[in-house]
Amino acid sequence: MNQTVAAANGVDIPQLGFGLYKIKDGGTFERTVEEAIRMGYRHFDTAKIYGNEAALGRVIQNSGIPREEFFITSKVWTTDLGYRATKKAFEQTCQKLNVTYLDMYLIHFAGPQYVNAWKAMEELYDAGKIKVIGVANFEIRHLEHLKKHSRISPMVNQIETHPEFPQHELHDYMVRHRILHEAWGPLGQGSKALLEHPELVAIALCHQKSVAQVILRWHLQRGIIVIPKSSNPQRIKENKETFDFELNEKEMEQIRRLDTGKRYSVSPNGYMVNPFYINLMKLFIRSH
């Protein structure tokens, strides 16, 4: 079972997806995605920078399941922002995935030229090549700036979100502007401290569920799209079993109070000068 949420244009997006960040091309990747498909996952989230678009395309093609049953997301990387560069990057992504359209395409970060990149995405959307256009790692100021320079508002914003960093202010802003909230790192990137938090453990025991399932359920009840990732078959199965129970208002409030305001990753503000991203870009360019 999987439920959907509707984008502003009416397109249904499976609320539970499967993230592919750091799952590299190769035997492990193929086995992982094959297992996810077998478990019923149809929404897969990749990106140019992940280096596994072609591998995902091969597994989907070999699955024997019609393309239209899948919801495929990819993202344009910072070095490809700009009108012409984004159109070229989109075509390359489609070639790697061996598809004629994407269900969702996102700007990975609000780097230079993101407004011109968005204009290219609007045209690709108008041409029917992308069903849902959106962004990732955008703050309110980025969304406001884009709104002033676009015909079509972003339909989705994929951002770091977990119980210790629930993004309340940004979440409320997106609800008001009909921008769907998609969480990357929804389980706190596997944080041991988070997954062993006493309050979460207590809630999990009440429902006879794991802490991970409770966290995913909390996201789902907030109306958030989640893309947990795992190469462990048991966890892949467990993450799927989040639609057969519900957290009550008291439990939702308990989890809400876990907010520490602490990111587990780096802030997208000023990321262009952050050594982490500079090194990531250098590695990507060298490997391609």
Q: Contact 152/146 with Cβ under 8 angstroms? A: no
User: Which region, left, alpha or beta, applies to residue 105 given φ > 0 means left and ψ of -120 to 50 means alpha?
Assistant: beta
Task: State the Cα–Cα distance between residues 20 and 230, nearest whole angstrom.
Answer: 8
Token pair 């870009």: residue: 281
Give me the pLDDT at residue 194, please.
Answer: 94
Given the residues 21, 41, 50, 277, select the one marked as catalytic: 50
DSSP SS3 for 183: strand
Give me the pLDDT at residue 26, please.
Answer: 72
Give me the pLDDT at residue 284, please.
Answer: 45
Do the annotations mark residue 108 as ligand-binding?
Answer: yes
Give me the pLDDT at residue 281, please.
Answer: 52
101 is catalytic: no
Task: State the Cα–Cα distance between residues 67 and 70, nearest whole angstrom.
Answer: 6
Task: State the Cα–Cα distance between residues 91 and 97, nearest whole angstrom.
Answer: 10
Give me the pLDDT at residue 287, please.
Answer: 42
Structure tokens at 44: 């897969």
**What residue ranges of the chain have pLDDT lower than 70?**
1, 25, 270-288
Structure tokens at 163: 């119980």
Give me the pLDDT at residue 40, please.
Answer: 97
Give me the pLDDT at residue 25, please.
Answer: 63
Encode 162-185: b = buried (16+ Cβ within 10 Å), e = exposed. Answer: bbbbbbeebbebbeeeebbbbbbb
Give me the pLDDT at residue 269, please.
Answer: 75
Give me the pLDDT at residue 282, please.
Answer: 47
Global pTM value: 0.93
